[in-house]
Structure 1
Amino acid sequence: MSITADNLVWKVGTKTIVNGVSLTVEPGKVLGLLGPNGSGKTSLLRLLSGLKQPYSGRVLLDGKDIKTLRRKSLAQRIAFIEQHANTNVNLKVIDVVKLGRFPHRSMFSGWTREDDAAVDHALERTEMAAKRNDAWQNLSGGEKQRAHLARALAQAPRELILDEPTNHLDVHHQISLLRLVSELSVTSIIALHDLNHAAMYCDQLLVLQSGQVVASGAPEQVLTQELLKEVFSVEAFVEISRHCERPHIHFVR
């Protein structure tokens, strides 16, 4: 297996934010992480990426506890895109994307053709090649998010973790980004708000409520009328198309 969480618990003071979460993502698959605000999605993603240490439990990469891995080795494996990723220095887009190559370089190594190829490929995949020399501060919110994705792809990760990456994008770029992630040959864990996008582009879903897993499995198993009402407090009915076998949610006014 690519990435596994075993009974993860994380607390702030006496308050438990992530409570006994276990999950397994197969190599090359996309796991969609769902849940209302405050359900623990961001904290769980930070635990999975090694940015937070669990109170108890563990995260495994190919059976190895990530606590035993060197920081550089972990950075070569996992790329993490935060919900509000920001860059304050007025760099060019290409400079931001080049940051993704740092885990693969030593202190004394020079920039290589392999580095150039990785950056160029990342810019092309995210439709940011035409913006490569634009100033960071002149980008729209959506363009900044796509540049951060390009940085992550330049990192050449085997696992990609994204915290609500479509928040600042228009509909076209939401769909193109999710389609891109779903087509990558990496293991991806992505927190999303849009339930229909999660159903369309994720292989598996995991739903959190108050830090605990309340449902997990294939989209058609997880996204039921009962769960939508209980967890998200919405009235809806779920239709499964015969053509794609993916559920589509129709919300009731």
Structure 2
Amino acid sequence: MSIKADNLTWKIGRKTILDGVTMEAQPGRMLGLLGPNGSGKTSLLRLLAGLKRPHSGSVTLDRNDIGKIDRRSIARRIAFVEQHATTNANLKVVDVVKLGRFPHRSMFSGWTRADEEAVEGALSRAGMAEKRDHRWQDLSGGEKQRTHIARALAQSPRELILDEPTNHLDIQHQIGLMRLVSDLPITSIVALHDLNHAAMFCDALIIMQQGKIVASGAPQDVLSESLLRDVFSIEARVESSPYHSRPHIHYLR
């Protein structure tokens, strides 16, 4: 088992943002969240990461209520990369990544070999090892995003949650980042805007609309022309890719 949500409801004031959401992330698989702006994707991710508590329903981590798990223990297990993640200080890349080790260290513990191996492994996997001594402010947008993912990986998580990680990146960095995440041997939950990226890289999809899940399943079972019309208000043709079994979406004028 991994992360599971059961009948989640979450509100801001009197406005219901999530309404009866039930879902489960399969261990070691990549789950994509899709939906128009305002559909509740970010709110769901924050609940799954234990950063917010639902008004009703529950989030469980291996059958344990996440609301009863202390924050430090959650951070050892789940890494969350927010949509507008930033780093204010002009640190070196390696120092940003080292921040990911905080949940594993006590106030008085020194830097250990395990910490060093986790950081070096995260830098390597995120493709930032050669940039380790570069300053944060000198990085490109794609490099900054990879650094944030490296910091998340330095937490040694079993679950990785990302909120629209490809926003504002050029196409080369978008594809590279999606390939990086899909190749990770951990559970990942990723909110996305690009439907073809979701179809290409995700093992399963959840489609959200107005705070509810309206469809879920494998990309080829979920992404249909009628769903794209009804949920996203777009006219498109959904075809099988000649290179793999995943669907490909052609947008129509």
TM-score in terms of structure 1 length: 0.98
Distance (whole Å) between structure 1 residues aligned to residue 178 and residue 169 of structure 2? 11
Write out per-residue CA displacement over residues 11-54 of structure 1, whole angstroms, 9 at most, x where no aligned residue: 00000011111101111011100001111111110000001111
- The corresponding residue for 1:219 is 219
User: Quick check: 127-136 or 79-88, which moved more?
Assistant: 127-136
Write out per-residue CA displacement over residues 207-242 of structure 1, whole angstroms, 9 at most, x where no aligned residue: 111111111111011100000001111100100136
User: For structure 1, which runs of at least 5 residues remain unmatched after alignment?
Assistant: none
- The corresponding residue for 2:13 is 13
Secondary structure of 2:193's partner? Answer: coil
Tell me how large the CA RMSD over aligned residues is.
Answer: 1.0
Alignment of 1:57-136 (within 5 A): 57-136=57-136
Write out per-residue CA displacement over residues 38-89 of structure 1, whole angstroms, 9 at most, x where no aligned residue: 1111111000000111111111111111011111110000000000001111
User: Quick check: 214-223 or 241-250, which moved more?
Assistant: 241-250
Distance (whole Å) between structure 2 residues aligned to residue 175 and residue 64 of structure 1? 35
- The corresponding residue for 1:169 is 169
Distance (whole Å) between structure 2 residues aligned to residue 84 and residue 246 of structure 1? 29
> Sequence identity, in percent?
69
Q: State the AA in 2 paired with 1:62.
A: D
Write out per-residue CA displacement over residues 154-188 of structure 1, whole angstroms, 9 at most, x where no aligned residue: 11100000000011322122111111111111111
Secondary structure of 2:102's partner? Answer: helix
**Offset, 1:245:** 1.3
Secondary structure of 1:234's partner? Answer: coil
- The corresponding residue for 1:55 is 55
User: For structure 2, which runs of at least 5 residues remain unmatched after alignment?
Assistant: none
- The runs of at least 4 consecutive aligned structure 1 residues that moved more than 6 Å come to none
Q: State the AA in 2 paired with 1:75.
A: A
Distance (whole Å) between structure 1 residues aligned to residue 246 and residue 140 of structure 2? 32
Q: State the AA in 1 paired with 2:134.
A: D
Distance (whole Å) between structure 1 residues aligned to residue 119 and residue 173 of structure 2? 20
**Offset, 1:244:** 1.8
Distance (whole Å) between structure 1 residues aligned to residue 24 and residue 36 of structure 2? 21
TM-score in terms of structure 2 length: 0.98
